[in-house]
């Protein structure tokens, strides 16, 4: 779009501003991004909740960016839905040799100090995932020791399973069986495969 600015070897500052609802005003973010040096022509604004997977303006910004550019946000939570999502985006930028700056938190991955902070965030996220995994495994092991099975409960009880077998022997169709047992066809198929 503006390749002449990249010819001199200097990357562009690309701004991304997001508000969660249509009645919120992104002007505070936009003003801060412009004050930080983002050209208004390179500012991508979005009005969508961060929990949405589909953020088309963020996708546009990420696709537009080239090696040497820097993505600038007002605050970390404007970019990622979760710490894991945020780290994934930053790792992708890093692989493409694109920098990242968050104005509020003072993170700048184009500096060694900024990269250190972001690596600490990544380590904390990994530590959190490992703790969750360990707790889950410990809980499953404790349940097994008490004679309980892990996993989801059976969707059909023993009586329903017997009815299922009888209906299959009678040649009834899956949809018919699902209606009689008041369950989904998927459950019927799953029970049939056991």
Give me the active site residues, please: 20
H or E segment at 19? strand 13-19
Q: Helices 83-95 and 56-64 sit at what angle, rounded to 10 degrees?
A: 20
Phi–psi pair at 82, nearest 5 degrees: -155, 170
H or E segment at 83? helix 83-95
Exposure of 125 by Cβ count < 10 A (0-12 exposed, 13-18 middle, 19+ buried)? middle
Q: Would the CA dihedral through 108, 113, 119, 121 be positive or negative?
A: negative
Measured CA to CA, the distance from residue 137 to residue 96 in angstroms comes to 36
H or E segment at 17? strand 13-19
Phi–psi pair at 79, nearest 5 degrees: -95, -50
């Amino acid at each position: 779009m503006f390749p002449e600015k990249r010819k001199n070897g200097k990357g562009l500052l690309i701004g991304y501003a997001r508000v969660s609802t249509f009645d919120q005003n992104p002007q505070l973010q936009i003003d801060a991004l412009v004050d930080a040096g983002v050209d208004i022509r390179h500012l991508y604004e979005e009005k969508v909740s961060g929990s949405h997977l589909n953020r088309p303006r963020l996708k546009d910004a990420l696709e537009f960016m080239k090696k040497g550019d820097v993505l600038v946000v007002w605050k970390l939570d404007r970019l990622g839905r979760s710490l894991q999502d945020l780290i994934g985006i930053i790792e992708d930028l890093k692989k493409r040799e694109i920098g990242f700056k968050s104005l509020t938190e003072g993170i700048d991955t184009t500096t060694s100090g900024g990269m250190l902070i972001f690596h600490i965030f990544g380590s904390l996220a990994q530590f959190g995932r490992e703790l969750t995994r360990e707790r889950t495994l410990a809980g499953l092991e404790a349940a097994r020791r008490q004679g309980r099975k892990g996993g989801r409960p059976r969707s059909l009880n023993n009586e329903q399973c017997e009815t299922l077998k009888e209906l299959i022997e009678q040649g009834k169709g899956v949809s018919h069986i699902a209606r009689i047992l008041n369950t989904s066809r998927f459950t019927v198929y799953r029970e049939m495969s056991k």
